[in-house]
Amino acid sequence: MSEKRKDKKGRLLKDGESQRPDGRYMYRYTDFRGKRHCTYAPTPDELRAKEAPDFCQFMSAFSTPILTPITPNLHQLPVNLCRSM
């Protein structure tokens, strides 16, 4: 079993987190297009606060207008088609 990654002070680091040689913390992630991004902070708590908005921006890319229904009243669709003929 692999050991948990820890920083210089012995705190556990989560997936994607690392501590740089200068002491700053870095969170590295890959967006939905495959592009890698990094976020930096002086403490792990500040870094984790920055991680959440990045994930929300990542998930907002999946909420496109295509997923919304085209007609708000789907039960009226056959009636509207018959009236247009």
Residue range 66-74: average pLDDT? 53
The candidate with the shortest Cα–Cα distance to 39, out of 55, 59, 63, 60, is 55
pTM equals: 0.59
- Contact criterion met (CB below 8 Å) for 17 and 47: yes
Exposed, middle or buried: residue 25 (CB in 10 Å: 0-12, 13-18, 19+)?
buried
Residue 73 has pLDDT above 80, yes or no: no
Q: What is the pLDDT of residues 5-19, one digit of tens each?
A: 888 999 999 888 999
At 11-59, the pLDDT tens digits run 999 888 999 999 999 999 887 788 898 899 999 999 888 876 666 666 6
